[in-house]
Amino acid sequence: MVIQAYVVNQPTIHSTNTLIIINFTVINSTCESSYLLTLSIFILTKIIMVLPFGYFELILSVICYVSFLLFRQRHAPLYDWPVLGMLPAFFRGAGRVHERCTEIFKQTGGTFLFKGPWFTHMNMLATADLYDVHHVMSSNFVNFPKGNEFREIFEVLGDGIFNSDDEVWRGHRKITNALINNQKFLRFLARMNYEKIANGLVPVLNHVASDGVVVDMQDVFQRLTFDTTCMFITGYDLGCLSVDFKDVPFSRAMDDAEEVIFIRHVMPKAVWKLQRWLCIGKEKKLKRAWESLDDVITGLIARKRRDLSGGVVSGDDAKGVDLLTSLITEQRSYSEGIKQDDKFLRDTILNLMIAGRDTTSSSLTWFLWLVMSHPDIEKKIRDEISSVIPKSEVGKPRIFEAEETNKLVYLHAAICEALRLYPPVPFQHKAPVKPDVLPSGFRVDPDMKILFSLYAMGRMETIWGEDSMEFKPERWITDNQTIRHEPSYKFLSFNAGPRTCIGKQVALTQVKAVGATILHNYNFEMVKGHIVAPNVSVILYMRYGFKVKVVPRWS
């Protein structure tokens, strides 16, 4: 890089002005810093041309400093601006943040220090190092709680299991674990899932197939999992999945809340807190969504109490084993930090609704697209499905029971592979209570977040081998034709360590039942020209939905 400055005095009638002519040559014009340098110097040149000569030394010093700074960082993954840090560079590629994270991790060897604007406490150590992940999520778990900042960002979740720490978190986990692992509940779950597929999903797919219309399968899966999750948790079917695709304010409010939560991650805290105080911008949207969520949940709790007091639901009834009924009728003391009042019920319902609806529908969407995009894998799954069907039922429409799908090893492997490449929760962040040194050698302190990009980890050759970018279910199958176990800190889709997802088996059971049913009964053809790309949110959905046409396989 060469910079030359010439000073030319131009006398005028009133005074002597100075014209500064700056000639610059940028080496390696293909890099981003060269573009920024060119733009910066051009703007500064225009400014100098109208300033008195006394400012020349100051402006020239600024130009030299900026030029040196840009040139020094010409190979950096993200440009570090004075004062603003790397935030401008992040926003420049925010539309493809997951792909950008993958590129940066591969360029830096798996660990990267993101510097936020000065005085905002937004510095972040992003890592895909397995030893770091294990250290944070398991071996030194106590030093990396959710913390106050996490609770502020996710404040709409209240004191539920996702937001809580210490005794309150342990109490939530004991309660949820006891309910989910109850055999009566598991039978209830299997039956409700089967009935929703038979009476909701299949009629909708048959309807759009007979009309020959395009349908957004992502929307269909969201509606399906919203209804099933609501049934599992509250015992009520809100009928979101129907042939008329009716609007459901509660589901829309959940989407709005998640959108604003993501924005809080990348916006300086002072800014979004000011917006919250003034009730403007995205924070106004969150406030409305919050009110909508509270109204619906409060109504469901009141309805359940009326039904229980009126004898409509019995605790011994097979239909009375939903989580809300159990929480109201089986008051247990799991933790001194938990008061099982209506706020506790509200927080528990909302946390589990988000966990059940969003993660499962995201998994189904990416799984179906990946299978459709790989006809050889689709054929293997269908062949395996046919092998567990009685001969008299081969070649006929069929809905699969949960127990039947336990035999489908290749289907299970394909689902795990889809979760590896497209994890429903694409990133996580933690912050230490006390300063710590990670196994990779980086020092972290309480003012610094640690970010895991699950999306990038699934694509790292250092973790999954040279074929890490391939959709390859075989990597999950052992020589004995069983599912290969991978450590949770390597396969992080269901979290890791003490916070490993309690509902993992519930989610896999539902995804397998839905996956087997739709692949056995229907062919799916994606609309020509439809773009498939991940969105930018706390849940990894397809940005433009998943538009397909549905054709029954059996007449």
Distances in Å between the alpha carbon of 499 and those of 186, 218, 327, 512?
21, 28, 21, 24
CATH number of the domain where residue 421 is located: 1.10.630.10
If 0-12 CB within 10 Å is exposed, 13-18 middle and 19+ buried, where does residue 349 land? Answer: buried
The neighbouring-strand residues paired with 522 are 552
CB atoms inside a 10 Å sphere around CB 319: 14
Are the beta carbons of 327 and 161 closer than 8 angstroms?
A: no
48 is a domain residue: yes
Q: Are residues 35 and 184 in the same domain?
A: no
**Whether 260 contacts 282, CB under 8 Å:** yes
Residue 86 lies in a domain: no
CA 393/CA 68 separation, integer angstroms: 73
| Dihedral class, residue 550 (left if φ above 0, else alpha if ψ from -120 to 50, else beta) | beta
pLDDT of residue 502: 87
- Confirm whether 274 is domain-assigned: yes
Same domain, 164 and 67: no
Same domain, 70 and 171: no
- Residue span of the structural domain in which 536 resides: 143-552
Same domain for 390 and 268, yes or no, is: yes
436 close to 143: Cβ distance less than 8 angstroms:
yes
CA dist 36 and 67 (Å) reads 9
Those residues with Cβ within 8 angstroms of residue 164's Cβ, 6 or more apart along the chain or in another chain: 146, 172
Instruction: Choose the final residue of a domain: 49, 75, 101.
Output: 75
Nearest CA to 232 out of 124, 357, 80, 123 is that of 357
Q: Does residue 168 sit in the same domain as residue 29? A: no
- The pLDDT, as a whole number, for residue 3 is 42
Q: What is the rounded distance in angstroms from the CA atom of residue 98 to the CA atom of residue 49?
A: 43
386 and 284 in a single domain? The answer is yes
- Give the residues of the chain that fall short of pLDDT 50: 1-33, 315-316
- pLDDT score, position 276: 94
pLDDT of residue 40: 55
- How confident is the model at residue 12, as a pLDDT? 41
CA 30/CA 77 separation, integer angstroms: 14
Would residue 256 count as lying in a domain? yes
Tell me: do 165 and 26 sit in the same domain: no
* Furthest C-alpha separation in the chain: 103
Q: Does residue 148 sit within a domain?
A: yes
Do 177 and 64 sit in the same domain of this protein? no
Structure tokens at 185: 């509940």
Considering the domain architecture, whether residues 57 and 158 belong to the same structural domain is answered as: no
Determine the pLDDT at residue 21. Answer: 41
How far apart are the C-alpha atoms of 235 and 313, rounded to whole Å? 10
Residue labelled with tokens 């720490």: 165
Q: Are 200 and 322 found together in one domain?
A: yes
Last residue of a domain, one of 26, 50, 75: 75
Contacts of the segment 529-532: beta carbons below 8 A, 24+ positions apart: 532/369
User: Is position 328 within any domain?
Assistant: yes
Q: Residue 234, CB half-sphere, CA atoms under 13 Å: how many?
A: 29
Q: Let me know: does 40 contact 70? Beta carbons within 8 Å.
A: yes
Q: Is there a single domain that holds both residue 57 and residue 149?
A: no
Please list, in sequence order, all residues whose beta carbon lies within 8 angstroms of the beta carbon of residue 380, skipping any fewer than 6 positions away: 410, 473
Per-residue pLDDT at 503: 86
Where residue 522 falls (left for φ over 0; alpha for ψ -120 to 50; beta otherwise) is beta
Distance between CA atoms of residues 172 and 344, nearest Å:
10
Question: Do residues 452 and 428 make contact, with C-beta atoms less than 8 angstroms apart?
Answer: yes
Name 160's bridge partners: none
My answer on whether 339 and 482 are in the same domain is yes
Domain edge (last residue) among 41, 75, 109:
75
CA triple 549-551-554, angle to 5 deg: 170
One-letter amino acid for residue 395 of the chain: G
| Residue 529: exposure state from Cβ atoms within 10 A (0-12, 13-18, ≥19) | exposed
User: Which residues are within 8 A (CB) of 213 and not within 5 positions of it... i.e. 6 or more apart?
Assistant: 549
Residue with tokens 């075989």: 474
DSSP conformation letters of 245-310:
----HHHHHHHHHHHHHHHHHHS-HHHHHHHHHHT-HHHHHHHHHHHHHHHHHHHHHHHHHHHHHT
In the prediction, which pLDDT does 555 show? 67
105: nearest Cα among 543, 548, 420, 453? 453
**pLDDT tens, residue by residue, 228-279:** 999 999 999 988 999 999 888 888 898 899 889 988 887 888 899 999 999 9
Dist CA 193 CA 187 (whole Å): 10
Q: What is the pLDDT of residues 383-401, one digit of tens each?
A: 999 998 888 788 888 999 8
| Residue 319 covered by a domain | yes
Number of domains in the chain: 2
Answer yes or no: is 215 within a domain: yes
Q: Provide the pLDDT for residue 213.
A: 94
